[in-house]
Amino acid sequence: MTVRPDRIVADIRIADEACVLTSEDMIDKALSRYPHLLDHACVNDRGETFGAVASRTSVAHLVEHMTIEGQARLSSGAKRLFVGKTSWTNRAKLLARVEISYEDDLVALSSLRAAVLFADYLLREREEESSSRR
């Protein structure tokens, strides 16, 4: 992770291929903690909001949007506008990069940590549900 003057940059390794993409269940659970996710502006191939791709996007992309919402919730600034970008740095090795603007670096880092921990929780829960169905 790197804190730059205008953004934080986090390299995220996805554990395995089964954990790469979000699912509808995962997004439904994320909405309980991040209720505005689907309304976020988002540049993507399917629409103008994160909601257009939310149920079938990379988990790293979900982490980006959860971090943005976490920051917006804690922001004291009048603008409260945050910009993010997620890209694969090495898709074969499941390495993604998330870049997010911030007002306060400590709030951004805290929001990112919370988002990563929550994504990990959602993935563990999905794995447990999948195991119990077998």
Report pTM.
0.94
pLDDT value, residue 79:
64
Are residues 97 and 86 in contact, defined by beta-carbon separation less than 8 angstroms? yes
Which portions of the chain are predicted below pLDDT 50?
Answer: none
In this prediction, residue 78 carries a pLDDT of: 62
Q: What is the pLDDT of residue 95?
A: 98
- As a whole number of angstroms, the distance between CA 60 and CA 73 comes to 20
> How high is the pLDDT of residue 128?
82
Q: How far apart are CA 108 and CA 57, in angstroms?
A: 22
Residue 50, pLDDT score: 97
